[in-house]
Amino acid sequence: MVRLISDFDGVVVDLSERYYHVYRWRLTQLAQPGQAIAPLTKTEFWALKRQKVSQRELGLRSGLTEEQLPEFKQLRDDHAHRLENMVHDRLIEGSLEALTAAKTWGWEVMTVTMRRHSELNQALALQPELRAVFPGDRRFCIPDAAERTQDIDQKPLLLGETLAQLPPREATWMVGDTEADIRAAQRHRIPVVAVLSGIRDRPRLEAHQPDFIVANLWEAVQLIRETVAR
């Protein structure tokens, strides 16, 4: 049996509209009378996010002053993960179909995500069809009380804790959209497929040398199926 470990954000769910909504809201909070604020389009904003452009640079490109940048970043930290903003998240096209297909093939399907418990529960409330593909004992996330630290450091720890709770499987694969997912899989010697549907672009993913890079989760499960059948 194949064990499929999927990240949640950027693999199953698209965050781009939430992040863009919070970005535009922050500009309205900081704009002073007469200030020439020039919001990026969503396409521009998301391309820069996927390139890991800093909050400082996003603010400057949008017309903020140096003095406004600390609050611009703080508003992002305070609001980007609020439950009320998660109504903007959407299923990535083909992700539910990919997970459902994997389960019909007899795969063990789970998610290992840096979302907090309440954040994951909110997503499952908004997208209830995901409850069947990720049953309660196959959802691994972060306690609400945990501090937000660097995902690239915390994700390998979470994956290690997850694997320690499960019986070993010879064919275990991971699908993720960030350097944190890639590093976590590599640390635990799991082949990893990076997808381009999330918050990192191809150059950022290639720099961390995943085993494969594909467009989305649907392509990832097809690739894994073909690979394990060889």
Give tens-digit pLDDT for 20-53: 999 999 999 999 999 999 999 999 999 999 999 9
How does pLDDT run across 150-198, given as a tens digit for each residue? 788 899 999 999 999 999 888 999 999 999 999 999 999 999 999 999 9
For every residue of 69-120, DSSP letters joined together read HHHHHHHHHHHTT-GGGGGG-EEPTTHHHHHHHHHHTT-EEEEEEEEEHHHH
What's the predicted TM-score (pTM) here?
A: 0.94
